[in-house]
């Protein structure tokens, strides 16, 4: 049996990944100039497919970077003059906060324990906060943010921009994109592609804020300013030569998801999650790590283990089933199982069977 990757990302490649990549090679996209009609058509195509898949509002722009972590930095550089606020409950939401602090702005945070989510107390921020940074799916702990809470943040704090890190959940997130100003993700998670592309989604409010900073010479980057991104986006171009082939393949996978149907994708994600949770409920070795059902991520399933997580990972590896250890402080005491659209119900059943064998 070939290895199946349930890793936190990079993860299992989409089953048609190689086919779409080959299509791109056949179309000579690897040699295409990023100021040619060939590239413009690719950009427009991928934009259109993503807009449909994620139900993005009409004032949406989509930009491409080297990685999602780059976007943490671009977000702060382009949208914050003095103050950002961060909801922190794990390694990645914390790193977003640390990026902001390192960039020299006044970054504040509301931090909760690992494996916990947020309640209403987390929602109200100080009046002078310019950007509220949230993480929809904390990849290190498998805690998701309730979409209703996210909407409330926007309603309560009308003066601040709101951004949501969708790294390990897009496109199967349930968030309402009309209620956030900016989101972003990388392609090596739920889209099932190799790493090398970050995707940054912005609305007009972001553009307006960036324009104010830019006209006051307050932007601290030269490379990926929102101004340059927008100027190029209007022509379906990019500021520098991007990962053209990855942009094309992302569009193809988004198209396939559109054809398949977002609801079906969501339902299958729920079914697969249920299969794994039922298995864990009957396990003597593993137990649920995120106790509050509302906080249990749909795409990153995290479980506690009394054995070392490395031992569990190695045991499953013998059956060619590749999962991840925990991350950060709970690396050894938890395991992480990605539940991305790229693994089938059949794959998940194989994993459930192997988890049962652990005892």
Q: How many CB atoms are closer than 10 A to CB 57?
A: 13
317 binds a second copy (CB under 8 A): no
Residue 98 binding a second copy, by CB under 8 A: yes
Minimum gap (Å) between residue 300 Cβ and a second copy: 15
Which tokens belong to 173? 């997130």
Q: How far is CA 177 from CA 53, 54, 55, 56, 327, in A?
A: 11, 8, 7, 6, 29
Separation CA 135–CA 158 (nearest Å): 19
Residue 103 touching a second copy (CB under 8 A): yes
Kindly tell me which residue out of 193, 213, 288, 321 binds a second copy, with binding defined by CB under 8 A: 193
Q: Which is nearer to a second copy, 65 or 141 (CB)?
A: 65
Q: Does 147 bind a second copy (CB under 8 A)?
A: no
User: CB 214 → a second copy: shortest distance, Å?
Assistant: 10
Binding residue for a second copy (CB under 8 A) from 69, 151, 179, 211?
Answer: 69
Nearest CA among 54, 58, 56, 33 for reference residue 43:
33
Residue 243 as a binder of a second copy (CB under 8 A): the answer is yes
Q: Is 314 in the site for a second copy (CB under 8 A)?
A: no
Annotate 96-141 with DSSP letters as a single string: HHHHHHHTTSEEEEEE--TT----GGGS---TT--EEEEESEETTT
Q: Indicate which single residue of 42, 73, 131, 226 sits in contact with a second copy (rule: CB under 8 A).
A: 73
Considering only residues 24 through 63, tell me which ones interact with a second copy, judged by CB under 8 A. Answer: 25, 28-34
The answer to whether 135 contacts a second copy (rule: CB under 8 A) is no
Q: Which C-beta is closer to a second copy: that of 98 or that of 315? A: 98
Stretch of 8-16, 202-210, 304-312, 345-353 contacting a second copy, by CB under 8 A: 8-16
- Which is it for strands 198-202 and 182-186: parallel, antiparallel or unpaired? antiparallel
C-alpha closest to that of 168 among 329, 335, 7, 359: 7
Phi-psi region of 9 (alpha: psi -120 to 50; beta: other; left: phi over 0): left
194 near a second copy, judged by CB under 8 A: yes
Position 320 contacts a second copy (CB under 8 A): no
Q: Which residues pair with 82 in a beta bridge?
A: none
Instruction: Identify which of residues 1 and 222 has a Cβ nearer to a second copy in the complex.
Output: 222
Q: How far apart are CA 353 and CA 275, in angstroms?
A: 10
* Region near a second copy per CB under 8 A, out of 126-134, 147-155, 241-249, 310-318: 241-249
Q: Give the CA distances from residue 302 to residues 72, 250, 280, in Å, rounded to whole numbers and listed in that order.
A: 24, 27, 10
Candidate ranges 65-73, 144-152, 168-176, 300-308; the one touching a second copy (CB under 8 A):
65-73
Q: How far apart are CA 164 and CA 180, in angstroms?
A: 7
Residue 153 sits in the site that holds a second copy (CB under 8 A) = no
Q: Which of 18, 156, 212, 345 binds a second copy (CB under 8 A)?
A: 18
List the one residue out of 309, 303, 351, 276 whose CA is nearest residue 142.
303
Which residues from 258-287 bind a second copy, rule CB under 8 A? none
- How many residues at the interface with a second copy, by CB under 8 A? 59
Distance in angstroms (rounded) separating the CA atoms of residues 226 and 182: 12
Q: Is 185 in the site for a second copy (CB under 8 A)?
A: no
Contacts with a second copy, residue ranges (CB under 8 A): 3, 5, 7, 9-13, 17-18, 21-22, 25, 28-34, 65-70, 72-73, 76, 98-100, 102-104, 186, 188, 193-198, 219-224, 239-246, 322, 324
């Amino acid at each position: 049996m070939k290895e199946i990757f349930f890793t936190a990302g990079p993860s299992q490649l989409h089953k048609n990944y190689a086919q779409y990549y080959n299509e791109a090679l056949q179309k000579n996209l690897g040699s295409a100039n990023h100021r040619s009609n060939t590239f413009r058509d690719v950009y427009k195509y991928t934009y259109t497919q993503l807009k449909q898949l994620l139900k993005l509002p009409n004032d949406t722009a989509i930009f491409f970077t080297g990685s999602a972590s780059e976007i943490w930095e671009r977000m702060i550089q382009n949208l914050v003059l003095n103050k950002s606020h961060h909801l922190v409950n794990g390694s990645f939401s914390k790193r977003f906060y640390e990026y902001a602090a390192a960039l020299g702005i006044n970054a504040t945070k509301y931090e909760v324990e690992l494996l916990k989510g947020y309640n209403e107390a987390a929602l109200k921020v100080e009046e002078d906060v310019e950007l509220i940074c949230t993480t929809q799916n904390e990849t290190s702990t498998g805690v998701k943010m309730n979409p209703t809470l996210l909407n409330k943040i926007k309603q309560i704090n009308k003066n601040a921009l709101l951004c949501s890190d969708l790294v390990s959940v897009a496109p199967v997130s349930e968030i309402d994109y009309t209620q956030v100003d900016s989101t972003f993700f990388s392609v090596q998670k739920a889209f099932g592609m190799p790493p090398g592309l970050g995707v940054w989604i912005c609305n007009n409010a972001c553009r307006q804020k960036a324009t104010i900073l830019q006209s006051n010479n307050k932007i601290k980057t030269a490379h990926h300013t929102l101004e340059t991104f927008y100027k190029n986006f209007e022509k379906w171009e990019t500021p520098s030569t991007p990962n053209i082939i990855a942009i094309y393949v992302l569009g193809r996978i988004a198209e396939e998801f559109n054809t398949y149907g977002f609801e079906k994708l969501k339902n299958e994600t729920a079914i697969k999650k249920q299969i794994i949770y039922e298995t864990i409920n009957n396990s003597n070795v593993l137990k649920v790590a995120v106790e509050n059902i509302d906080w249990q991520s749909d795409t990153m399933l995290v479980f506690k283990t009394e054995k070392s997580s490395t031992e569990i990972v190695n045991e499953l590896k013998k059956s060619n089933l590749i999962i991840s250890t925990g991350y950060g402080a709970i690396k050894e005491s938890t395991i992480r199982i990605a539940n991305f659209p790229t693994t089938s119900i059949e794959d998940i059943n194989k994993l459930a069977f192997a988890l049962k064998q652990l005892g």
